[in-house]
Amino acid sequence: MTAPAAQGVVPLAPAAGEAVLVGRVWDPASGGPRVATVRGEKVYDLTSSVRTVSEIMERKDPAAFVMESPGVPRWRLADLVKDSLGGDRGRPYLLSPLDLQVVKACGVTFVDSMIERVIEERCGGDLNRAAEVRGMVAQALQGSLHAVRPGSERAREVKNVLVAQGLWSQYLEVGLGPHPEIFTKAPVLSSVGYGADVGIPGFSSWNNPEPELVLIAGSGGAVKGATLGNDVNLRDVEGRSALLLGMAKDNNASCAVGPFIRLFDQDFTLESLRSEDITLTVEGADGYRLEGCNSLGRISRPFEELVAAAHGIHHHYPDGFALFTGTLFAPTQDRDEEGLGFTHKPGDVVTISSPLLGTLVNRTRKTEDLEPWSFGIAALFKYLSSC
C-alpha cells in the first residue's frame, strides 16, 4: 500500500493534547500486537503491565491505570503515523485499538438517515431508482424529521403517513419504534486501524463509508472511552433485503476503528460527546471529493439507551464490547452520472475526524485484493504466552 493523499494528517487533534489514549501497535520484532499509550511525541509500550486493551476496560478507572503504568518508550508517534500510512509492514504500525471486545453496531439511530434506508429498500438495491424514490418520500413527509423521538406519538404519526403512501418499510420499526437495531458488525480481532486498507467486495456496486462514534465498554456495560469508526456499508446488498445485513456489513476489512481509544477522565466524559461533530472527506484518485458530517447532537436516541439495548441481562460480553452508535451521514451527491449518487471506487482515501477523538484515515481497495485476515484469537493467545 502506498501512502494515501492525506499522509500529512496526524492521528491526534490539537484539542486532544491532554487526552489519555490507549491503542495497539504491531511490533515486527516480536511478531505481535503491543498495548500502547501516547505521551507527548512518544508512544509507550504497556504490555509488561497489561496484555490486552480489553483488560484495561475492566479497571475501575482505566485512565488512571494507564497514566500510572510506567511503560517503555519504544516508538515515535510521527514514525507510527508515517509507517501506518506508508504500508511497510516490516516496520511498527498502528492497529485497531480493539482486541477481545465484541464489535456491535446500532442501525437507524438518526430518524433523518432512516429515510435513506427506506429508499434503499424501496429501490431493491437499485442505484438507478434512488433519486425517483427519494423525491416520493420527501413529498410524503413535507418536513424535517430530526426532532422526532422514536417511540413517541409524533413518531407514530410519521410512520402512519409513510405507510399510507405505500412506503411501508421494516426500517420504520427500528427508526421510529421503541427498540433500536443492534447487530454484530465484526468478529473479534477483525477490525483494522489507522492507515489500513478497507475492503469493498466485488459483488457490490452501491456502497459508502459511515463515519461514527464508537463507545468502548467493559464487561459490566459501563462505557470507559470512545473512538472513531467507519461502518462500511453495502447499500445495494442491504437494500435487496434487510436479512442480508450480515453480507452488507461484515466482510474482511469492512470495519475500521481508531486511531486510539480516548479514555474517560474528569475532563472527558460521555457528556462531552453529545454535541460532537464527526466530519468525513472522501478523496478519489479520479479527483472526486465528497464531504459530510455526522452531528451527534441530532441523534434520535441517547447513548445510554443504545448501550442498554446492546448489554444487559439479555446479553453479556465477558471481554467487553465496542458499540458503533450509527450515523446521520448518507451520501446522495452524484459522483459520475446525474441521479446515480455516490459509490466508492478503489483508491478512495477516507478521512474521519472529530475535535475530541482525532483522525482516522483509510483507503478503499477491492476486498478480494487484500491480504487475508490471519491473526485471530488463537494467534493472539500463542503470542501472549511467549511474551
The pLDDT-based confidence of 145 (bands split at 50, 70, 90) is low
Give 1's pLDDT tier (boundaries 50, 70, 90): very low
Task: Kindly state the percentage of the chain with pLDDT values over 90.
Answer: 70
Distances (CA, A) of 256 to 21, 190, 228, 360: 17, 9, 8, 8
Pick from 121-135, 181-195, 274-288, 298-312: least confident: 121-135
Measured over the CA atoms of residue 310, residue 303, residue 56 and residue 357, the dihedral's sign is positive
Residue of 163 and 348 predicted with greater confidence: 348
Question: Which triple of cell numbers denotes residue 155?
Answer: 413518531
pLDDT tens across 287-342, in order?
Answer: 999 999 999 999 989 999 999 999 999 999 999 999 999 998 888 888 988 877 89
Q: What is the pTM of this model?
A: 0.89
Check whether 125 has a pLDDT greater than 90.
no
Average the pLDDT over each of 58-72, 158-172, 183-197, 243-257 and give the range with the smallest value.
158-172
Degrees, nearest 5: CA angle 37-279-188: 50
Complete DSSP assignment for 179-193: S-EEEEEE-TT--B-
- The angle, 0 to 180 degrees and rounded to 10, between the axes of the packed helices 130-141 and 153-164 is 130
Q: Is the pLDDT of residue 257 over 80?
A: yes
Average pLDDT over residues 14-28: 83
| pLDDT exceeds cutoff 60 at 13 | no
Convert the pLDDT of each residue in 87-116 to its tens digit. 888 999 999 999 999 999 999 888 777 777
Rounded distance between C-alpha atoms, residue 275 and residue 269, angstroms: 12
Cα–Cα distance, 11 to 81 (Å, whole number): 7
**Residue 7: which pLDDT band, with cuts at 50, 70 and 90?**
very low
Q: Is the pLDDT of residue 140 over 80?
A: no
Q: Which cell is 39 given?
A: 505521551
Strands 207-208 and 233-234: antiparallel
219-243 pLDDT tens trace = 999 999 999 999 999 999 998 988 9
**pLDDT given for residue 201 in this prediction:** 97
Determine the length of the chain.
Answer: 387
Backbone region of residue 258 per phi and psi (left: phi > 0; alpha: psi in -120 to 50; beta: other values)? left
- Angstrom distance (rounded) from CA 320 to CA 55: 9
Q: What angle do CA 342, 346, 348 make, to 5 degrees?
A: 65
Cell of 262: 480516548
Report the candidate in 369, 347, 354 with the shortest Cα–Cα distance to residue 288: 347
pLDDT of res. 108: 86
Whole-number mean pLDDT of the chain?
Answer: 89
Which residues does 323 contact at the CB level (< 8 Å), separation at least 6?
A: 104, 105, 106, 214, 215, 216, 217, 306, 307, 310
Q: CB atoms < 10 A from the CB of 74, how many?
A: 17
Cα of 191 vs its chain's centroid, Å: 9
